[in-house]
Structure 1
Amino acid sequence: MADLPLLLLHAFPADARMWQRVRDPLSARLRLITPDQRGLGRSPLPETGREPDLADAARDVLALLDKLELEKVVLGGCSMGGYLAMAVLRAAPERVGGLVLIDTKASADAPEAAANRRKIAERAESEGVTGWLAESMLPNLLAENATPDVVETVREIIDSQPPAGVAWAARAMAVRPDSLDVLAKADVPALVVVGEQDKLTPPEQAKAMAEALPGAELAVLPGVGHLTPLEDPDGVSDAILRRFS
C-alpha cells in the first residue's frame, strides 16, 4: 500500500490545517494530499441549486483525483471527513484502495442530532460563526486535558470558516445515510482510529465500524478526545504508517 497516495479529509467545522501536526511524519513516508472541502477553508462553495448533500462533496473528491491523475488512493477522514470518505466509497469504491476512519461513525444522525445541525446552519447564516461556534463545540471536540495551544489552534480554525460553508456542511451531514452496509462491502485494508475520550463518536462507534469492515484494524488512543490528529499526532501518524507504509 505504500505506493498509493494518502488523501485525508478534515473534520467539521475545520479545514486542512487540522492535519498540520501529522503532515511531516506522514509526508516523509507517503504522498499526502489534504484538500479543503467545499465551502470551508479556501475551497469555494459552488452554486448548485441543490439541497446540501455529501454526495456532491464526494464528487468534488473524485474530480480532484481525476485532476491529479490518480486512479486509486488510500482515503481517510476525521469526523465529517470520515462521513465524506464513506460517501466517496459509496459512489466509487473502485477509487479507494484503503480506508482510514478517524473519530467518525457510520450511523446516520438521530432526529435530534439532525435538528441540532440545522440550528447550527441557521445561526451561522444569520450571525456568522465567530464568538459562539467554537465555544459551543470545543468541550466536545477535545479532551478535558487538551493543551492550551491545541485549544487555541482549534478555536482559530473554527472562527475563520466561511458561515455559508459551515451551514452547507451542517445540513449535508444531517441528511447523510447509514453507511455500515457500504463498509461491509469494502474489501480493502482499513484502519479505524478513535480517541479514548471521544464524546461525539465514542469508541463503541469505532468498534462497530471495525467489525463491519472486512480488513480493519482498530486503534484506540488513550487520553484524547475527538480531534486526535491535533491532540495525539504521534499516535495517529504511527497507526497510519504501521498500516499503510
Structure 2
Amino acid sequence: MAVVQLYARDVGAGMPLVLLHAFPLSSAMWLAQREALAGRFRVVTPDLRGFGGSVLGSDVPSVDAMADDVARMFRTLGVQRAVVGGVSMGGYVAMALCRRHPDVVLGLVLCATRGSADDAGTSAARLAQADRLERDDDVSVLVDELLPHLVGPTTMRQRALVYGRVRGLVQSTPPHAAAWAQRAMAGRPDSFDTLRGVKVPALVMVGGEDALSSEADARAMAEALPNAELLVVPRAGHLVPVEQPDLFNQAVTEFAAALSGSAR
C-alpha cells in the first residue's frame, strides 16, 4: 500500500503550530493564520489526504489513517512536538493523533468539533452524501446541503467576501476525496476516553452561531479534558478561523505562547 505524503505549507519560525483544516476545505482556509501567526510561530498547515495538494491513496477510509499521515509529516519536517489545532474534521484527526501518537502533541486546540461518534442518523447522512459524491462525480451535494451551514448568519449578512471564499473552497473540493472523508468520519470512534487521557493543556473553541457543532458539544469536551479552557467565539459559525480570524488568532497565540517553554 502506497504511503501518502501530505502536502503542507510551512511558514515562520519558532514553536511549531500544526493546523488541520475543516471538511470539505483545504489548508487554504488557514490563510489568515499563516499571515498573522508566522511572525511568532512555525505554522504548518497540511492538506489532509485527497484535499488540496495531497493525494488520496488507497487506504480504507478512517480518521486513524489521516492521523498517521500527520504523524508521518511531523517526521518528514523534523518536528518533534507541536501545538496541534483542528477545526471540524481536523479536530477529529487531532483527537485521533492524541490517541495514536500522543508524544507529538504539546498542546491541543479543538474548534467546532465533537468528541462523540456520529449517531445513526448523522452517519447515514454522511454515507448517503459519500454515495452521491461518487455517483455524480461533483460536489453539488455539498454546495446544496453543507455550505449553508458552514458559516453563521452574521457572516452571511455582513461578510459576503468571506462566504464567497468558503463557497469557492467547497466547489474546488475533489468529490472522491470528500466521499472518502465522509466515510472516515462516519466510522470514527467516540473520543471521550482519549480526551480524558490527554496530558497536555487544551483550548476548546466553538462559534456562538455554529449550526453543526454546539456549545454543549464543546463544553463536554472541555470537561472531559483534564486541563482545558473553553471559549465561545461570538458572531461566528462553524468556520471560526475564517469568520473571526482576529479572535481565533489571539486565543491561539495566548494559548501557544504559554506553552513555548515546553517545546523542544
Flag the 1:32–1:8 CA change in 2: closer, same or farther, 3 A: same
Give the match for residue 7 of structure 2. none
Give the match for residue 170 of structure 1. 182
The CA RMSD measured in Å over matched residues stands at: 1.3
SS at 1:100 equivalent: strand
Give the match for residue 20 of structure 1. 31
Q: Residue 236 in 1 paired to residue 228 in 2?
A: no
- Maintained 8 Å contact 2:14/2:40: no
- Worse-superposed segment, 133-142 or 53-62: 133-142
- Provide the rounded CA distance (Å) in 2 between the counterparts of 1:157 and 1:243: 28
- Provide the rounded CA distance (Å) in 2 between the counterparts of 1:63 and 1:17: 21
How many Å apart are 1:20 and its aligned residue?
1.0
Give the match for residue 124 of structure 1. 133
Q: Which residue of 28, 35, 46 maps to 2:46?
A: 35
How many Å apart are 1:224 and its aligned residue?
1.2
- Provide the rounded CA distance (Å) in 1 between the counterparts of 2:144 and 2:165: 13
Structure 2 unmatched runs, 5+: 1-12, 258-264
Flag the 1:244–1:65 CA change in 2: closer, same or farther, 3 A: same
Query: What are the superposed Cα offsets for residues 180-239 of structure 1, whole Å, 9 maximum, x if unpaired?
Result: 110111111111111011111111111111111111111111111100111000010000
Query: What are the superposed Cα offsets for residues 149-180 of structure 1, whole Å, 9 maximum, x if unpaired?
Result: 11111111111111110010000000101101
Q: Which residue of 71, 91, 110 maps to 2:80?
A: 71
SS at 1:97 equivalent: strand
- Maintained 8 Å contact 2:205/2:232: yes
- Provide the rounded CA distance (Å) in 2 between the counterparts of 1:129 and 1:194: 30
Give the residue type in structure 2 aligned to 1:236: F
How many Å apart are 1:3 and its aligned residue?
5.3
Give the match for residue 219 of structure 1. 231
- Provide the rounded CA distance (Å) in 2 between the counterparts of 1:216 and 1:129: 40
SS at 2:154 equivalent: coil
SS at 2:149 equivalent: helix
Give the match for residue 149 of structure 1. 161
Give the residue type in structure 1 aligned to 2:73: L
- Maintained 8 Å contact 2:139/2:174: no
Give the match for residue 203 of structure 1. 215
Query: What are the superposed Cα offsets for residues 40-79 of structure 1, whole Å, 9 maximum, x if unpaired?
Result: 111101123xx31111111100110010111111111000
TM (normalized to structure 2)?
0.89
SS at 1:58 equivalent: helix
- Maintained 8 Å contact 1:54/1:173: yes
How many Å apart are 1:24 and its aligned residue?
1.5
Q: Which residue of 88, 97, 105 maps to 2:106?
A: 97
Q: Residue 179 in 1 paired to residue 188 in 2?
A: no
Give the residue type in structure 2 aligned to 1:7: V
Q: Percent identity?
A: 45
Query: What are the superposed Cα offsets for residues 9-42 of structure 1, whole Å, 9 maximum, x if unpaired?
Result: 0000110011112221111111100000001111
Q: How many residues align?
A: 242
- Maintained 8 Å contact 2:132/2:141: no
Flag the 1:23–1:13 CA change in 2: closer, same or farther, 3 A: same
- Maintained 8 Å contact 1:4/1:97: no
Give the match for residue 204 of structure 2. 192
- Maintained 8 Å contact 1:138/1:151: no
Deviating 4+ runs (over 6 angstroms): none
Give the match for residue 173 of structure 2. 161
- Provide the rounded CA distance (Å) in 1 between the counterparts of 2:41 and 2:209: 29
